[in-house]
Amino acid sequence: MKPEGKKRIWAEYQKEIPDDHFFYVRSCIRQTFFAGSEQYFLKILREDLGKDVYEDPRHTTCTGIGYHGDVVPFETIQTVVARHFALATEAGYRHIAISCVTSFGIYSEILETWKHFPETLERTREDLYKATGRTFEVPETISHTSDIIYKFREEIARKAKYNLVDAATGKPLKVVEHIGCHYSKMFPKYGVGGAEFPHVLVGMVESWGGDIIDYPERRHCCGFGFRQYLVQANRGYSLFASRKKFESMEPYRPDMIIANCPGCTMFMDRWQYTIKEIDGITYGAEGHGIPVLTYEEVAGLVLGYDPWELGLQYHNVQSLPLLRKMGIKADPERRFLDRDGSRLPEPANLIDG
């Protein structure tokens, strides 16, 4: 491997990520399954980095799952997204920060469509106005929230309480990055580092002291694929895709997987349990599973936030061995205790180290 080769590519795919004043759009999956991630994204940006992030409670789903599931037509989704833009316009924001990779892909697709087919933009303006009476400005930039963390990765590194290193040996952790397909595979220029060698997560991991693993199935889809997953009979296909990735990364003995897509995070986490049930295989060192973390969670850990506040206990694959390795003191007894000491619901089927 020649690192300078990758650097050359990364230099070619540098996108404009604004410095401040973001209009935040949440992810259906991330806010449901990894609620701590979105909460801590806002917290890190606002409190640690002192940025202005605006959220509008009237913001809705982008309908991406319906769109990719062939139930929502393109015209409809353009109008829904245009409504988000209208909310941003009304609030005076020109930079969109998107939590979901599916949404990010849809925003990219729509902006590209409007650029190449201006008549679709006009049609959308008309549709939105007819439906809601709103008007909008096309935003100046769209960023995936991982882009924003990427941009401030060095600042975060400077404030770091923990690094992605084995606290006992000082050796870097071996980290697998997984980029959601819709982040840059459709429009490479929208992603940091392009589609083949995306830099967005690699940059974070390296800044925070970890080592990235480039394994053969790095580019492979996690298997979510909407229609594959939504139809129960097709889930074997979805599962197969994840297993292919696990088998390919397994020889490297990774300490964790970091993903920027909420769907991928959920799938690669949950499927480890499903594969354990069906195949009887548990991946990772000593059969503890490979923890799958969002970049917000990783940033939160680096900044020294409480893992249970970040919500790591609500992953199928538990992170205790990883936390121990990083030297983070986390009391396993407190995992499912609320702040007031009351008992939180404990999920079944955990892969627990």
Q: Which residues of this protein are in contact with another protein, per CB under 8 A?
A: 1-2, 4-6, 8-9, 194-197, 214-219, 232-237, 239-240, 243-244, 248, 251-252, 274-275, 277-280
| Cβ partners under 8 Å of residue 216, min gap 6 | 248
Give kind and range of the element (H or E) at residue 321.
helix 320-326
CA distances from 249 to 227, 242, 280 (A): 26, 11, 18
What is the smallest separation between the CB atom of 341 and another protein, expressed in angstroms? 35
SS3 content of the chain, % helix, strand, coil (to 5): 50, 10, 40
**Backbone dihedral angles phi then psi of residue 245, each to the nearest 5 degrees:** -70, -45
Pick between residue 122 and residue 214 the one whose CB is nearest to another protein: 214
What is the smallest separation between the CB atom of 251 and another protein, expressed in angstroms? 5
Pick between residue 67 and residue 229 the one whose CB is nearest to another protein: 229
Give kind and range of the element (H or E) at residue 141.
strand 141-144
Pick between residue 236 and residue 304 the one whose CB is nearest to another protein: 236
Question: CB burial class (10 A; 0-12, 13-18, 19+) of residue 130?
Answer: exposed
What is the smallest separation between the CB atom of 236 and another protein, expressed in angstroms? 4
Find, among 92, 177, 201, 99, the residue nearest to 143 by Cα: 99
Pick between residue 18 and residue 210 the one whose CB is nearest to another protein: 210
What is the smallest separation between the CB atom of 274 and another protein, expressed in angstroms? 6
3-class secondary structure, 167: coil
Both tokens of 36, joined, read 């701590």
Find, among 226, 199, 200, 209, the residue nearest to 295 by Cα: 200
- Tell me how far apart the alpha carbons of residues 260 and 343 are, in angstroms, rounded to a whole number: 30
Pick between residue 339 and residue 348 the one whose CB is nearest to another protein: 348
What is the smallest separation between the CB atom of 238 and another protein, expressed in angstroms? 9
What is the smallest separation between the CB atom of 3 and another protein, expressed in angstroms? 9
Pick between residue 151 and residue 270 the one whose CB is nearest to another protein: 270
What is the smallest separation between the CB atom of 188 and another protein, expressed in angstroms? 8
Pick between residue 4 and residue 333 the one whose CB is nearest to another protein: 4
Q: What is the CA radius of gyration of the chain?
A: 20
Pick between residue 141 and residue 234 the one whose CB is nearest to another protein: 234
- Tell me how far apart the alpha carbons of residues 297 and 302 are, in angstroms, rounded to a whole number: 9
| Cβ partners under 8 Å of residue 323, min gap 6 | 301, 307, 312, 330
What is the smallest separation between the CB atom of 197 and another protein, expressed in angstroms? 7
